[in-house]
Amino acid sequence: MNSLFGAAAASARGHGMTSQRARDRLVATLRAEGIKDPRVLDVIRTMPRHLFIDEALASRAYENTALPIGLDQTISQPWVVARMTELLIERGVPKRVLELGTGSGYQAAVLSELVETVYTVERIEELLRKARRLFRTMKIENIRSRHDDGNVGWPDEAPFDAIILTAAGESVPRALCEQLADGGVLVAPLGPTGSQRLTRFRREGDAWHREDLEAVSFVPLLGGLG
């Protein structure tokens, strides 16, 4: 877990529409829309989301909306990031979390402030290179990243206390289920485009407990490398 954020602290503070006041407004919006965990809200308040998007969109960084990051990908809506994080830590903070779909790196950075180690996998090499540069700039030292097909996870580092998917499939790939530790939690958007729901699974031995939660909209979970 990190303090905010070494060499990036000056640019992280922002100004105008990226200022602390803008972040405080975002947190107030998230709280009004049902995000309750103060740990999550504190991270969202301090995390410089404007660094994870193109400079041309920086004035919109603290709106509660998804934004394009190129290559047909998006940075998730802050409410979605906060809600998925809240679901992961609700019954105890996991030590080792696997994220499938690094994207901009924002979700991984939020998790890095709360858990011991984040392992993140991205299939699009250009996105991963950008995220890695940002992690280095921000002095985030507890994120490990890999260029690979997210459907296969990171078997060499399994088992994980929690797994989070930031793209939607019809079901959770079997390889990922096998990499979740007994007692672990997995959060993923599931379903076809237009009818996806945020879903949480808890593993207890061979038993899996499923909760279907809020409606969401994510890019599809694709295989292969880009």
Q: Which residues are catalytic?
A: 76
CA distance 36 to 52: 24
- According to DSSP, the β-strands at 117-122 and 160-165 are unpaired
User: How many CA atoms within 13 Å lie on the side-chain side of 9?
Assistant: 6
Calculate the CA 173 to chain-centre distance.
Answer: 18
**Any idea of the CA torsion for 118, 121, 125, 127, to the nearest 10 degrees?**
-50
SS3 224: coil
**Residue whose structure tokens are 């296969």:** 152
